[in-house]
Homo-oligomer: A and B are copies of this chain.
Amino acid sequence: MIDPKLLRGSLNTIIIKLLSERNEMYGYEITQHVKDITAGEVQLTEGALYPALHRLEGKGILSTELRNVGNRVRKYYRLTEAGKTEVVHQMTAMEDFIKSMQLILNPKLV
């Protein structure tokens, strides 16, 4: 299991990257998808995820649509136009971050 502390700061990037690939997703789906592709290593907690989704919606990065599925209601999120711009910035920022971490942590490879 990935140390949740390391994940701090990366949650927004994860969310908008996934939404850039799949058009729309609902919250629970995001948690399951992340769990699947990381073989269970990354488990987003709902207490962190939902407030983060709400914040991104408040900032105009995401828009939502409620949809009935059977007797349940799902809240689908998708990127706004502003959100699509954000993806590019955040991905660049994440790549730069990882490169810097590798410079700091693997000095032998430099």
Query: Using a CB–CB distance below 8 Å, which chain A residues touch chain B?
Result: 2-3, 5-10, 13-14, 17-18, 21, 34, 37-38, 41-42, 91, 93-94, 96-98, 100-105, 107, 110
Name A's interface SS. Answer: helix
Could you tell me the distance between the alpha carbons of A2 and B94 in the complex, rounded to whole angstroms? 9
Inside 8 A of A37's CB, which chain B residues have their CB? 103-104, 107, 110
* Structural contact, B105 and A91, CB atoms closer than 8 A: yes
- Output the nearest chain B residue to A102 by Cβ-Cβ distance: B98
Inside 8 A of A96's CB, which chain B residues have their CB? 2, 41
Determine which residue in A37, A101, A103, A110 has the highest number of CB atoms from chain B within 10 A of its CB, and name it. Answer: A101
